[in-house]
């Protein structure tokens, strides 16, 4: 790695480190503990639904037993998908390649690195606005910057992405439309959620920085019901505010709604809405096919599309990511009531455990 690229990488680590120091760090730790409690409560409820025994092991691992068989879960991790499938899903470039080779729509994209920024420059020159992210081993919107439009912005976004210890970086065209999470279990669509963007509402006297601080405190005061994480200032927030002509120091007018980020992973419950009854059959089939191509039994398919009532090809929508350890919070806390997705997921885990026990018994005959 060259001298300049090493400096950029260290700067990326420093930007990431800001979120784990001081007050922001203590807030994130508190939110993380709420997240763990959320999953314990969800799995305990699901176990009760099936009349199963629930046991907390060390390290947050949960053991759930029914009729002589047991399965273990940890937060949103289950034994349903094998390590190879999990690794495939974490490699965003490989996922794009697999999906595109079978005719499914993904964003135009290119791989680059801090040592080869010119590849990113070339891609940026062909697109008005781009997204930069780590190419592998991250999830949850970590290191993602949207709305990248200049070389300087690209350099900063690349450094932020590299701060998540990914030497491979990905630049994509910026796709506009609604963000929707499709959750599949063995090809069955369990739920579809339209995910709104994190935002604050101006009071006419407070800076955005203060509104953000108040929002984070509100999240913590609500436990896990409002959100699973606090919002931190990062490159995506910087770019999202800048595209609105704002910064953290700006004082928005009373009742003005200000979008804080284009990355929706850390939004709040009221910014999520069930749309399973609206999503077209074409989109449902496309998402099912995407999960099948990756080999995932449990998959959260993220799409962006201008119109969920049409197929992705017709509307110009794209598959953005495939998550093989999808989060559950958006399905439980949102407008319109909960979809208790852990219940069928646990049933499937227990059935898998029973089949494994039966196969083992048969092999020992």
pLDDT in tens, 153-184: 999 999 999 888 778 999 999 999 999 999 99
The candidate with the shortest Cα–Cα distance to 262, out of 145, 148, 161, is 145
pLDDT score of 364 more than 60: no
**pTM score, two decimals?**
0.91
Question: Distance (Å, rounded) from C-alpha 347 to C-alpha 341?
Answer: 10
Over 60: is that where the pLDDT of 78 sits? yes
Has residue 4 got a pLDDT over 80?
no
Q: How many CB atoms lie within 10 A of CB 302?
A: 19
**Interhelix angle 151-162/235-242, nearest 10 degrees:** 150
Length of the chain measured in residues = 365
| Spatial contact of 349 and 71, defined as CB atoms under 8 Å apart | yes
Identify the pLDDT of residue 361.
Answer: 57
152 CA to centre of own chain: 26
Cβ atoms of residues 21 and 307 within 8 Å: no
- Closest alpha carbon to 86 in 39, 142, 138, 35: 138
* Confidence band, pLDDT 50/70/90 cuts, at residue 9: low
As a whole number, the mean pLDDT across the chain is 91
Which pLDDT does position 28 carry in this prediction?
74
pLDDT digits (tens, 9 = 90+) for 266-291: 999 999 999 999 999 999 999 999 99
The pLDDT score that the predictor gives to residue 306 is: 97
Task: Report the alpha-carbon angle 87-333-190, nearest 5.
Answer: 55
Contact 348, 338 (CB under 8 A): no
Q: In the 3-class helix/strand/coil scheme, how is the chain assigned residue by residue?
A: CCHHHHHHHHHHHHHHHHHHCHHHHHHHHHHHHHHHHHHHHHHHHHHHHCCCEEEECHHHCEEEEECCEEEEEECCECCCCCHHHHHHHHCHHHHHHHHHHCCCCCCCEEEEECCEHHHHHHHHHHCCCEEEEECCCCCCCCCCEEEECCHHHHHHHHHHHHCCCCCCEEEEECCCCEEEEEEEECCEEEEEEEECCCEEECCCCCCHHHHHHHHHHHHHHCCCCCCCCCCCCCHHHHHHHHCCCCCCCCCCCCCCEEECCCCCCCCCHHHEEECCCCCCHHHHHHHHHHHHHHCCCEEEEEEEECCCCCCHHHHCCEEEEEECCCCCHHHHCCCCCCCCCHHHHHHHHHHHHHHHHHHHHHHCC
Question: Are 332 and 339 within 8 A, CB to CB?
Answer: yes
Please give the C-alpha separations between residue 311 and each of 38, 188, 319, in angstroms, as whole numbers.
34, 18, 12
User: Cα separation of 176 and 126, whole Å?
Assistant: 17
Contact residues for 230 (Cβ-Cβ < 8 A; gap 6+): 24, 27, 28, 31, 216, 219, 220, 266
Contact status, residue 253 vs residue 207, Cβ threshold 8 Å: no
> How many other C-beta atoms are found inside a 10 Å radius of the C-beta of residue 67?
10
Examine the pLDDT at 2 and tell me if it is beyond 80: no
CA distance 292 to 78: 18
**Residue 55 CA neighbour count, 13 Å, CB half:** 10
Averaged over 192-199, what is the pLDDT? 97
| Of 60, 43, 61, 40, nearest in space to 52 by CA | 43
How many CB atoms are closer than 10 A to CB 3?
A: 7
What are the structural domains, with CATH classification, of the chain? 108-174 (3.30.1490.20), 198-261 (no CATH)
Please report the pLDDT score of residue 139 as a whole number.
76
Whole-angstrom Cα distance, residue 299 to residue 216?
29
């Amino acid at each position: 790695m060259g001298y300049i690229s090493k400096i950029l990488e260290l700067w990326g680590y420093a930007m990431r480190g800001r979120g784990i120091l001081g007050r922001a760090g203590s807030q994130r730790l508190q939110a993380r503990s709420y997240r763990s409690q959320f999953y314990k409560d969800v799995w305990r409820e699901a176990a009760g639904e099936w009349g199963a025994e629930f046991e907390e092991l060390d390290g947050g691992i949960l053991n759930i037993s029914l009729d002589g068989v047991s399965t273990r879960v940890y937060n949103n991790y289950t034994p349903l998908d094998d390590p190879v499938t999990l690794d495939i899903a974490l490699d965003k470039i490989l996922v794009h390649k697999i999906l595109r080779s079978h005719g499914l729509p993904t964003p135009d994209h290119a791989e680059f690195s801090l040592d080869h920024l010119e590849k990113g420059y070339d891609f940026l020159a062909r697109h008005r606005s781009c997204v930069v992210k780590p190419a592998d081993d991250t999830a949850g919107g970590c290191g993602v910057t949207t709305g990248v439009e200049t070389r300087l912005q690209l350099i900063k976004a690349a450094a932020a992405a590299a701060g998540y210890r990914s030497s491979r970086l990905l630049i994509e065209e910026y796709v506009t439309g609604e963000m929707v999470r499709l959750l599949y279990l063995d090809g069955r669509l369990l739920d579809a959620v339209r995910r709104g963007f994190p935002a604050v509402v101006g009071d006419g006297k407070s800076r955005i920085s203060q509104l953000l601080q108040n929002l984070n405190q509100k999240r913590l005061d609500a436990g896990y019901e409002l959100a699973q994480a606090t919002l931190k200032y990062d490159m995506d927030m910087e770019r999202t505010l800048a595209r609105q002509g704002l910064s953290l120091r700006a004082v928005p007018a009373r009742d003005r709604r200000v979008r804080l980020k284009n990355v929706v992973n850390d939004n709040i419950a009221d910014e999520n809405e069930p749309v399973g009854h609206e999503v077209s059959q074409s989109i449902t089939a496309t998402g099912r096919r995407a999960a099948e191509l990756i080999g995932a039994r449990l998959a959260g398919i993220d799409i962006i599309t201008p119109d969920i009532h049409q197929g992705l090809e017709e509307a110009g929508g794209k598959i953005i990511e495939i998550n093989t350890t999808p989060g559950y919070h958006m399905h439980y806390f949102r407008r319109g009531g909960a979809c208790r997705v852990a219940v069928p997921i646990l049933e499937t885990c227990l059935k898998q455990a029973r089949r494994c026990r039966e196969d083992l018994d048969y092999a020992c005959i």
